[in-house]
Structure 1
Amino acid sequence: MLNKFYENLQKKSLKERFLLFIGILFFTLYLVLGLFVIFMKNFPIDMSMNYRIAFGVLLIGYAFIRCIRIIKDNKD
């Protein structure tokens, strides 16, 4: 499976590879941001823990939606 991904990546133009990299970068960013919101002890914004968990779960959910879109866009 990894070999097929590598072959598919080589077929892409430079622009498509760059957009794939940006997509993976933002997936990672939203995932880490969601985890920070949930688990950070000294959160700079005054929010109750229930709202922090809800906001963190929302960010993590959005990260996985982006991940699914990346996977769908890279299947040929």
Structure 2
Amino acid sequence: MLNNILNNIKKKSLKERFLLVLGILFFLLYLVLGLFIIFMKNFPLAMQPIYRIAFGLLLIAYASFRFFRIINDNND
């Protein structure tokens, strides 16, 4: 499986590889931001904890969606 992914990456053009790296970067950004919002005790915005957790989970769900899109696009 990993060998197949690496072969697909090598076959991509420079532009496609750049977009892949950019997609992974934004996936990690949304994931870390969601975790940061959930677990930060001194959150700078006045939000109730339930809304803060819901917003963090929404960001993590969006990160998961982006991750699966990256995986599906990489299989092509």
Q: Shift of the alpha carbon at 1:13?
A: 0.2
Q: Which residue of 2 aligns with 1:58?
A: 58
Rounded to whole Å, the distance in 2 between the matches of 1:29 and 1:35 is 10
Residues 4-61 of structure 1, C-alpha deviation per residue, up to 9 Å, x if partnerless?
Answer: 1111100000000000000000000000000000000111111010000000000000
Give the 4+ runs in structure 1 shifted more than 2 A: none
| TM-score, with length taken from structure 1 | 0.97
Q: Which residue of 1 aligns with 2:38?
A: 38
- 5+ residue gaps, structure 1: none
RMSD: 0.6
Identity across aligned pairs (percent)? 70
Rounded to whole Å, the distance in 1 between the matches of 2:29 and 2:46 is 22
Count of aligned residue pairs for this structure pair: 76
Rounded to whole Å, the distance in 1 between the matches of 2:6 and 2:44 is 41
SS at the partner of 1:31? helix
- 5+ residue gaps, structure 2: none
